[in-house]
Structure 1
Amino acid sequence: MHLCDAPPLFHKNRRVMKLLKMIDAHIHLDHYNDQEIKDIIERDSSLEALLSVSFDLESSKKNKDLAKIYSKVKPAFGFHPEQTPPTEKQMDELFSWIKSHQNDMVAVGEVGLPYYLGKEQKLTTVQRSQYIELLEAFIKLSKELEKPIVLHAVYEDAPIVCDLLERYSVPKAHFHWFKGDSKTILRMTENGYYISVTPDVLYEEEIQQLVQTYPLQQIMVETDGPWPFEGPFTGKMTHPSMMKESIKTISEIKKLSMDEVYHHVFYNTKSFFSI
């Protein structure tokens, strides 16, 4: 569904209520326990879907199983970069499994480059090249399977990722919880890449400035749960209901009505992931 296919924003109350639906564009649902997952799925009727990204092969398998139990769960299969890279055997097994289950996923992800791990461990040039090669393989897989790709790529890693995306002409790239310089932000917007905003938009000036700059037509909302948040969310389990506060803050930054922001982020996500 494209944005232009979305129903009018203001007609009957019934339609306005429909536009207040939400989709969590990035959550690690498999990292919650069974009771928490049930609560996340069932507690908030405004939640239409969750994009549950994967950490590795076992995580991918669990997300696939969760999608069979809960229709709201839309899984993405991949390998999170903030960990030791897989061996060649593990990578072959993961890629083979993903290809054989491509119809069970909506995207490749979460994949990217290990920015925070690199800061902690000061990766060697050889180690860094391993992560770049792995990411390139995932980008080629995304292109081959014609699936969107969900990216962990912030600050100085983002231009490297943009280079790879441009090299393979990947049309659908989602930079989750993005942070970066103005030059990279402009490059991403011009390439049609999407970003998603977490609940830290309520208290992080850097994210607020990003929202101010980035086109609303290319913004989604996420939780990245179970990652915990600060400010008004301190001590609380990360839950998709927090996105309501994110949308409220986005509407204030963009000087638009909440209904309009709900409308855009919902249909942006629905269209991007073809769900």
Structure 2
Amino acid sequence: MQLFDSHSHIDVDAFDADRDAVMARARDAGIIGQLVPAIAAAGWPHLREVCVAFPHELYPAYGMHPMFLDEHRPEHLEQLRHWLSDERCVAVGEIGLDYFIETLDRGTQQFYFDAQLRLAREFDLPVIVHARRAVDATIASLKKVGGLRGIIHSFGGSTEQARQLWQMGFLLGIGGPVTYPRAQRLRELVATMPLEQLVLETDSPDQPDAQWRGQRNEPARLTAILATVAELRDESSEVIAAATTANAMGLLKLSRS
């Protein structure tokens, strides 16, 4: 089976000591590619270096994460324009809205989110969207800008929200949370959603699966998410792996090497 991790922060310092070993375990687990979204402008050069070190395995996305609002400056948007124009990248991300953390100013989040959505539309790139407790606001923003496609990372919304996003051409990233039995609404959604809308992710080093709780997450754990999704849908792991890999690579316009 070939798997694609649609959300991996393999560039962060949690992997600096053993990144080669982590990548080797991912290969052994059948991971043929990972999408690596950025967090803030200061990290873009290092992210590029890590992805260059693993060509045809790591694919960069550049953007500004809403949880790191204090690090963002308006001039970074013009820098992002140059990075999208000049660098090898497959998406704009990680961008979005986070209403869970109350200290994050919503107006400032919206400013950066909208500006990055417009850049994604300008460069015809998919967006990798963080939408925590903010799915309705995210949908409104996507509709307002228009002409977009992408992945809603770590989706935690309702079936109706998922349907709206599907109609807009968005895929849903499903990761570690689906392996927890208490995540009943998410598990019910995954069991019934269109397979064509589903992509798998680890969000490494965060969001470990239920069997890996409390440990540093890594891309090789994508197989645990695959197993849970296959069980919930009563379909084979091979079918789920083939479909989700095709979904991710098709969205990102990647070809198997």
Instruction: Provide the residue aligned with 2:189 in structure 1.
Output: 210
Return closer, same or farther for 1:171/1:90 CA change in 2, 3 Å cut-off: closer
Return closer, same or farther for 1:33/1:164 CA change in 2, 3 Å cut-off: same
Where do residues 101-120 of structure 1 align in structure 2 (5 Å cutoff)? 101=86, 103-118=87-102
Instruction: Provide the residue aligned with 1:89 in structure 2.
Output: 75
Q: 1-side partners of 2:135 and 2:36: how far apart?
A: 22
Instruction: Provide the residue aligned with 1:182 in structure 2.
Output: 159
**1:162 matched to 2:143:** no
Contact 1:27–1:225 (CA<8 Å) still a contact in 2?
yes
Quick check: which has more Rg, 1 or 2? 1
Cα-to-partner distance string for 1:170-214 (whole Å, 9 max, x where unaligned): 341210001113331221122221011112211132321221232
Q: Which moved more, 1:24-33 or 1:133-142?
A: 24-33
Where do residues 45-60 of structure 1 align in structure 2 (5 Å cutoff)? 45=27, 46-60=30-44
Where do residues 233-248 of structure 1 align in structure 2 (5 Å cutoff)? 233-248=212-227
Instruction: Provide the residue aligned with 1:128 in structure 2.
Output: 106
1:149 equivalent among 127, 130, 135: 127
Instruction: Provide the residue aligned with 2:237 in structure 1.
Output: 258
Q: Which runs of 5+ in 2 are unaligned?
A: none
Return closer, same or farther for 1:228/1:159 CA change in 2, 3 Å cut-off: closer
Instruction: Provide the residue aligned with 1:14 in structure 2.
Output: none
Q: Which runs of 5+ in 1 are unaligned?
A: 1-19
**1:29 matched to 2:10:** yes
2:198 equivalent among 219, 241, 260: 219
Q: Partner of 1:161: helix, strand, or coil?
A: helix
Q: 1-side partners of 2:84 and 2:178: how far apart?
A: 36
Q: 2-side partners of 1:232 and 1:137: how far apart?
A: 39
Q: 1-side partners of 2:148 and 2:90: how far apart?
A: 15
- TM-score normalised over the length of structure 1: 0.84
Contact 1:83–1:114 (CA<8 Å) still a contact in 2?
no
Return closer, same or farther for 1:182/1:44 CA change in 2, 3 Å cut-off: closer
Q: Partner of 1:143: helix, strand, or coil?
A: helix
Instruction: Provide the residue aligned with 1:98 in structure 2.
Output: 83
Instruction: Provide the residue aligned with 1:4 in structure 2.
Output: none
Using the TM superposition, give the Cα deviation of residue 48 of structure 1 relative to its aligned residue in structure 2, in angstroms: 0.6
